[in-house]
């Protein structure tokens, strides 16, 4: 089986659920669930399933340049888990059956886009799949068709269009020196032309486009509105995987492609530090649960960018590990947010209070997510943040390591405030009838919380299984 099946199978699923009208609608949820589970299995065992030699099987007929490496495996596993969580959450949202069906279709199309981003080895193909993800994200953000959703979607669309222009301009400039748009040719060409002002400008402009996609300060303007105003399952998707694959994963990939220079590392470190601080302080003053988590996402993505900016194999591994951990604990917190929104009818934290008794599973899983986000041992977030700080220290970036530690304290501050306001204390007025959310929301939160705990506890095994292959991948 070939990597291209990961983008062909979702297309067959789209046809399978749309062509037979009634049967397809009934089976859409289960087919999509099976698809995401299969994607994860294929990704984890890709070396057994996928032939990597050129022009083999389907790839001879469908001549494409797709491949999976350890970085791709991490992204594909995150995609599978977050997509399944989002699908479960969508079952318990106030959507009618046709709307749920359309949501499932959009989710599967988005998975094609994200799989393409992860596996593409050509910069123009990468751009095309980024656009697929952007278009489906825009539609999903505006899904409720209320004024806030449309505003958030419009902001996202406008900034995404600017990112598109940046990327196309950059590709055009790179084509001056590269014979085609494949990563191999670009890498060869940059060995001789990397010092040219036109090429430096092209790389900078391309990265600006990715910073917009990833919601990194100061390109984050669309993110809080998009996260806060989109429906709950869409917020899970955006925060858990979309901005990470479209923004951060692609930054890691192009940094490996363009080469990690001192100037590039300085830019990444500066923007990463600013994102970490601005996101953390902005989250402090929020009353809207989802908006608070949106600013928290900006801050956490800043940590990933700091790891990349360290410029060492340890830094890159730490960035990838935090990429995975953030996908898990942030999705968990947004799933908790979906449960709260559904049961209380509000996202305002000041109107909530004392909900730990009424919603024990949501309460406990949010504690797990909160502690991991704040970097408390032995949860997963602690290890990835620690590795980022160690990588920065080893690279001689002491100030940035200090900023990362300081922002961790601020992170603990706003997340503890969130816990206290929402779950601790006396039950707030008007919350008497609140009960635990349905199985469809509780189950993904339990699974995600278990992953966060197990990842933390099994960290030494992960270090052995992933860090060394990633280090080898980076140094060769």
Residues in contact with another protein by CB under 8 A are 7, 11, 14, 62-66, 96, 102, 105-106, 109, 112-113, 116, 120, 122, 124-125, 128-129, 131-132, 135-136, 138-139, 142-143, 145, 175-180, 185, 189, 192-193, 196-199
Nearer to another protein, 145 or 435 (CB): 145
Q: Write down the H helix ranges in 311-426.
A: 313-344, 360-374, 380-394, 398-422
Report in angstroms how near the CB of residue 18 gets to another protein at its nearest. Answer: 9
Report in angstroms how near the CB of residue 222 gets to another protein at its nearest. Answer: 18
Nearer to another protein, 128 or 458 (CB): 128
Indicate the length of the chain as a whole number. 476
Nearer to another protein, 42 or 142 (CB): 142
* 380 vs 373: CA distance, rounded Å: 9
Nearer to another protein, 1 or 175 (CB): 175
Report in angstroms how near the CB of residue 141 gets to another protein at its nearest. Answer: 11
* 117 vs 249: CA distance, rounded Å: 9
Report in angstroms how near the CB of residue 14 gets to another protein at its nearest. Answer: 7
Burial profile 192-216: b = 16 or more Cβ within 10 angstroms, e = fewer: ebeeeeebbebbebbbbbbbbbbbb
Report in angstroms how near the CB of residue 92 gets to another protein at its nearest. Answer: 20
DSSP per-residue letters across 76-101: HHHHHHHHHHHHHHHHTSS--HHHHH
Nearer to another protein, 180 or 287 (CB): 180
Report in angstroms how near the CB of residue 294 gets to another protein at its nearest. Answer: 23
Burial of 4 by CB count in 10 Å (0-12 exposed, 13-18 middle, 19+ buried)? buried
Q: 218: how many CB neighbours lie within 10 A of its CB?
A: 11
Q: Write down the H helix ranges in 142-260.
A: 147-174, 183-193, 197-214, 223-229, 232-237, 243, 250-258
Helix (H, G, I), strand (E, B) or coil at 327: helix
Nearer to another protein, 180 or 472 (CB): 180
- Please give the torsion angle defined by the CA atoms of residues 350, 356, 362 and 364, in that order, rounded to the nearest 10 degrees: 120
Report in angstroms how near the CB of residue 94 gets to another protein at its nearest. Answer: 13
Report in angstroms how near the CB of residue 63 gets to another protein at its nearest. Answer: 5
Nearer to another protein, 160 or 356 (CB): 160
Nearer to another protein, 194 or 453 (CB): 194
Nearer to another protein, 212 or 268 (CB): 212
* 386 vs 300: CA distance, rounded Å: 13
* 243 vs 133: CA distance, rounded Å: 10
Report in angstroms how near the CB of residue 266 gets to another protein at its nearest. Answer: 21
Report in angstroms how near the CB of residue 290 gets to another protein at its nearest. Answer: 21
Q: Going by C-beta distance under 8 Å and a sequence separation of 6 or more, which residues neighbour residue 13?
A: 31, 32, 35, 108
Q: 68: how many CB neighbours lie within 10 A of its CB?
A: 21
Helix (H, G, I), strand (E, B) or coil at 288: strand
Q: 53: how many CB neighbours lie within 10 A of its CB?
A: 7
- Yes or no: say if 307 and 322 are a contact pair by the CB < 8 Å rule: yes
* Tokens of residue 294, six digits: 């949106």
- Please give the torsion angle defined by the CA atoms of residues 319, 324, 330 and 332, in that order, rounded to the nearest 10 degrees: -160
Nearer to another protein, 222 or 414 (CB): 222
């Amino acid at each position: 089986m070939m990597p291209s099946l990961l983008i062909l199978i979702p297309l067959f699923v789209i046809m399978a659920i749309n062509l037979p009208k009634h049967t397809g609608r009934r089976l859409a949820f289960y087919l999509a669930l099976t698809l995401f589970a299969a994607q994860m299995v294929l990704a984890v065992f890709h070396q057994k399933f996928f032939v990597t030699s050129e022009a083999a099987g389907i790839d001879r007929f469908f001549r494409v340049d797709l491949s999976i490496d350890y970085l791709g495996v991490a992204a594909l596993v995150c995609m599978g888990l977050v997509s399944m969580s989002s699908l479960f959450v969508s079952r318990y949202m106030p959507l009618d059956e046709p709307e749920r069906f359309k949501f499932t279709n959009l989710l599967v199309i988005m998975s094609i886009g994200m799989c393409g981003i992860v596996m593409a080895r050509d910069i123009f193909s990468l751009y095309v799949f980024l656009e697929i993800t952007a278009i489906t994200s825009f539609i999903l953000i505006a899904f409720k068709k209320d004024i806030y959703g449309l505003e958030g979607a419009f902001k996202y669309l406008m900034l995404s269009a600017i990112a598109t222009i940046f990327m196309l301009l950059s590709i055009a400039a790179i084509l001056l020196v590269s014979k085609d748009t494949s990563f191999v040719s670009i890498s060869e060409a940059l060995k001789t032309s990397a010092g040219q002002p036109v090429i430096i400008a092209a790389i900078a402009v391309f990265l600006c486009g990715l910073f917009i996609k990833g919601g990194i300060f100061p390109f984050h303007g669309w993110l809080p509105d998009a996260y806060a105003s989109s429906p709950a399952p869409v917020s899970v998707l955006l925060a858990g995987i979309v901005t990470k694959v479209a923004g951060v994963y692609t930054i890691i990939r192009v940094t490996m492609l363009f080469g990690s220079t001192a100037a590039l590392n300085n830019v990444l470190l500066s923007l990463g530090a600013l994102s970490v601080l601005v996101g953390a302080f902005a989250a402090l003053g929020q009353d809207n649960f989802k908006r608070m988590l949106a600013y928290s996402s900006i801050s956490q993505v800043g940590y990933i960018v700091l790891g990349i900016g360290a410029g060492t194999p340890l830094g890159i591994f730490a960035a990838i590990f935090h990429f995975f951990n953030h996908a898990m604990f942030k999705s968990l917190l947004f799933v908790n947010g979906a449960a709260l929104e559904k049961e209380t009818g509000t996202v305002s934290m000041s109107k909530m209070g004392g909900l730990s008794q009424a919603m024990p599973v949501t309460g406990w899983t949010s504690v797990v997510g909160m502690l991991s986000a704040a970097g408390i041992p032995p949860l997963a977030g602690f290890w990835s943040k620690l590795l980022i700080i160690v990588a920065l220290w080893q690279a001689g970036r002491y100030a940035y390591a200090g900023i990362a530690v300081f922002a961790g304290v601020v992170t603990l501050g706003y997340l503890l405030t969130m816990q206290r306001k929402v779950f601790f204390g006396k039950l707030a007025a008007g919350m008497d009838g609140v009960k635990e959310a349905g199985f469809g929301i509780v189950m993904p939160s339990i699974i995600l919380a278990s992953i966060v705990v197990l990842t933390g506890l099994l960290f030494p095994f992960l270090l052995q299984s992933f860090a060394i292959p990633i280090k080898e991948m980076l140094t060769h």
